[in-house]
Amino acid sequence: MRLSRDYFFTLRDDVKNEDSTSGNLLVRSGMIKKTSSGIYMMLPLGLRVMNKIENIVREEMNAIHSLELSMPAMIAEEVYIESGRRETFGNSMFALKDRFNKPFVLGPTHEELFAAAAKMHVHSYKDLPTSLYQFQTKFRDEPRPRFGLIRVREFVMKDAYTFDRDLAGLDLAYDKMFQAYKNIFDRLEIDYVIVRADTGVMGGLLSEEFQAVCDIGEDILVIEESSGYASNLEIAKCIIEDEVSDEPELSYEIKDTPQAKTIEEVVAFLNEDIKKFVKTLIYNIDGNIYALCVRGDHEVNETKVLKLLGANEIEMASEEEVIAATKAPVGFAGPIDLEIPIILDQEITVMKNFIVGANQVDKHFINVNLSDFTPTQVADIRKIREGDMCENGAGPVKFMRGIEVGNTFKLGDGYAKAMDLYYTDQNNKLIPVQMGSYGIGIARCMAAIVEQNHDKHGILWPKHLAPIQVAIVIINTKNAEQVEVAEKLYAELNANTNLDILIDDRDERAGVKFNDMELIGAYARITVGRGIADGKVELKIAGADISEDIAIEDITTKIKEIFA
C-alpha cells in the first residue's frame, strides 16, 4: 500500500455519533463508517482485518472437516413460518416484498436453510456425521444498535452446523467444535471466558458462550473462580441462603401507606428492612397475566420465568392490566386474595412476617406468612447478585461484563423434528438427526479486539491481524536518499514476505505520519530518516516505548523473525 496514491484517511478527533472506544478508533482510523444506525461500511483497512479474522476461522473450521458453503441472505418468509420461528423473531426480522407482493425476510440466522441443505445429503446413517458452515451477512432489526460494531443490525457471522446420528455423536462433534473455537479465540488473542447460557425456546440441550471480557460488554457473567463456575446471568441459579426464620408467625394486619408506591418509598415509610418486603410484580407472559413475587431487594430474572413456564414473551403488565388484575392502582399489588396465578421466588419460603401490597390504594399488609395465600408455583425466579452464594456452594459469585463473540449450541433433535430432518438407521427405522449450531460474530470480534487492545495513540492489533504489519515511514520525501532506501526496503519486503506492507511517501511532517501509523495500529514501523547516514533505520513495534536502530541490510531478516 502506497499512501501517496491509495485510499487512506484518518480523522484527528473523535466523532460524535460513536459511543464506544472501539467504534471511535475504527472510524477515526478510516476502517469503518456508519451509514445508518447499526449499519456500517467496511472500508479497505477494516476489510483487511475482517478477512484476516475470517481466514483464521476458516482454517479452524476446515481443520475439523466442516465444509464451507454460502446461503442466500434473502429468504422467502414461508421458510420461517414453517419452522415456527417467524413469530419467535417477530419484529427483529427485516421483512420486504417482491414485485408480486410475495413476502421475503432478510435472514437473522440460518438453521432452516442448513437443515434443508442437510436433507439433500442425509438419508442414511452412513451419511452421518457431517458438518457445514458459512460466512454470511445476517440482519436483525435491533431496537437499539450500540457500541460501534458490537450491537448492529447488519453483520457478518460465521455459522456452522453439525449433524449426527445420536447424542454420543453430537457430544463428539460439539467437543471438536468447542476446541476449534478455543483455537480461534486464542489465535485472535481475545481475552475471553466461556459461560453457560440460555438454551432458548427451542429447548436445546446445552448452550455455551464465548465472552470477550470487556467493561462495555452487554452480558453479565457470573463467575466463581475457585470452582471454575461461569454462567450468563440469565441462567445463573440461586440457592436459598437464609435459614428458615424462627420468628413466631403473627397474624397479618393492614397498614396505611399513603403516597408510598415504590418499594423504596414503602421501606422508608414503614421504616423496615427491605428484606422484610415481598414485591409483587404483575407481568404479561404470552398474553396471560401473572403475579411474580420476589423479596424486596431482589429482581425478577425474566429468562428464568420464561423457561419455567415454557413461554416466549414476557413484559411488565400495562397499567390497565395491573388495575384489572389487582383491583388497585399500580404500586399496591400483593399475593393475598389475588385471582391470577402467583409464582413465588423460592427465597420467600424462608421468610416470616413479611410485608406485601394489599391490593388497595395506599395500603400494605404487614406480618404476612406463607399460610396467608396460595402460590401457584414456587421456583427460583430471581436474578443472582454479586456476592450471593454460587449454586455449587463453592463461594460467593462475582460479576464480569462480556461481549458475546461466539456461541456453541447443542440443539439435540428438537430442531430436526421441526424441520423434518430424519435418516434411516441400520434397522430401517427413521431417526431424527442430532444437530448442533455454532456462531461467531466476525466484526464483533474485531470490535472486542480493539476494546481490549488500544492505548492513547490508537489500536494495538495482534501482529497477525494488523491491517498494516510493516509501515515504512519516510521522514523527508524531498531527501532522495531516504526515498531510495525506503523504496528499496518496500520492494524487498514485498518480494520476500507475505506481510501487508505500507510505504508512507506522503509529503507530510513526521508527526503526522507517526500519529497516523499509531492510530491505525501498524504493527511494526520502520522509520527511514537521518539514520541512513550510518546505514541504519529505526524499527518500532506498536505500543512499545522505544525503537531500535537496525542496519538497513538486516531489516528483512529481522521482520521475518518478528512475524515468524
The residues of the shown chain that bind RNA, judged by CB under 7 A, are 10-17, 19, 34, 36-38, 143-146, 261-264, 266, 279-283, 299-302, 315-317, 319, 322, 330-333, 357, 383, 457, 475-476, 478, 509-512, 514-516, 518-519, 527-531, 538, 540, 547
**Please, what is the minimum distance in Å from the beta carbon of residue 471 to RNA?**
12
Q: Which residue has the cell 427465597?
A: 347
The string of DSSP letters for 255-310 reads EE-TT--SHHHHHHHHT--GGGBEEEEEEEETTEEEEEEEETT--B-HHHHHHHHT
In order, the DSSP letters of 486-554 are HHHHHHHHHHH--S-EEEE--S--HHHHHHHHHHHT-SEEEEESGGGGGTEEEEEETT-S--EEEEGGG
Burial class (CB in 10 A: 0-12, 13-18, 19+), 149: buried
SS3 of residue 218 by DSSP: coil
Nearer to RNA, 394 or 510 (CB): 510
209 beta partners: 195, 407
Is 259:364 a contact under the CB 8 Å cutoff? no
| CA–CA distance, 120 with 111 (Å, rounded to integer) | 15
- When the beta carbons of 191 and 299 are compared against RNA, the nearer one is 299
How far apart are CB 455 and RNA at their closest, in Å?
11
Task: Give 130 or 479: the residue with its C-beta nearer to RNA.
Answer: 479
Whole-number minimum distance, CB 14 to RNA, in Å? 7
Q: Which is nearer to RNA, 10 or 424 (CB)?
A: 10
Strand 524-528 with 470-474, pairing: parallel
The nearer residue to RNA, 160 or 472, going by C-beta atoms, is 472
Beta carbon of residue 497, minimum distance to RNA (angstroms, whole number) = 23
- Secondary structure class of 452 (helix, strand, coil): helix
CB of 357 to RNA, least distance (A): 5
Task: Report the nearest approach of RNA to the CB of residue 152 (Å).
Answer: 10
H or E element in which residue 450 lies: helix 442-452
In 3D space, the residue among 52, 73, 62, 51 whose CA is nearest the CA of residue 133 turns out to be 62
DSSP state, residue 125: G
Minimum CB distance to RNA, residue 168 (Å): 37
CB of 237 to RNA, least distance (A): 15
What DSSP character marks residue 249? P
Q: Which is nearer to RNA, 14 or 420 (CB)?
A: 14
SS (H, E, C) 43-63: CHHHHHHHHHHHHHHHHHHHH
For the bound state, the minimum distance from the C-beta of residue 538 to RNA, rounded and expressed in Å, comes to 5
Cβ closest to RNA, residue 37 vs residue 55: 37
How are beta strands 130-139 and 67-68 bridged, if at all? parallel
For residue 345, give every residue at least 6 positions away whose Cβ sits within 8 Å of its Cβ, in sequence order, or none.
292, 293, 294, 295, 298, 300, 378, 379, 380, 381, 382
**For residues 229 and 514, which CB has a smaller minimum distance to RNA in the complex?**
514
Q: How far is the CB of 259 from RNA (least distance, A)?
A: 13
* CA-based torsion, 300, 301, 305, 306: positive or negative: positive
Shortest distance (Å) from residue 527 CB to RNA: 4
Query: Could you give the angle at the alpha carbon of 534 between the alpha carbons of 529 and 537, nearest 5°?
Result: 40
Q: In terms of CB distance, is 194 or 475 closer to RNA?
A: 475
Give which of 373, 349, 433, 491 is closest to 124, Cα–Cα: 433
Least distance CB 50 / RNA (angstroms): 20
Query: How far is residue 57's CA from residue 63's CA, in Å, rounded to a whole number?
Result: 10
Shorter beta-carbon distance to RNA: residue 113 or 222: 222
Nearer to RNA, 292 or 435 (CB): 292
Burial class from Cβ neighbours inside 10 Å (0-12, 13-18, 19+) for residue 490 reads buried
Task: Give the Cα separation of 87 and 77 in Å (integer).
Answer: 11
Min dist CB 118 to RNA, Å, is 35
Fill in the DSSP letter of residue 390: P
Quote the cell numbers at residue 263. Answer: 418499594
Q: Whose Cβ is closer to RNA: residue 151's or residue 165's?
A: 151
Give least dist CB 477 to RNA, A.
8
- From CA 188, how far away is CA 453, in angstroms rounded? 11
For RNA, give the closer residue by CB, 54 or 388: 388
Q: Which is nearer to RNA, 266 or 489 (CB)?
A: 266
Residue 169 φ/ψ, nearest 5 degrees = -65, -40
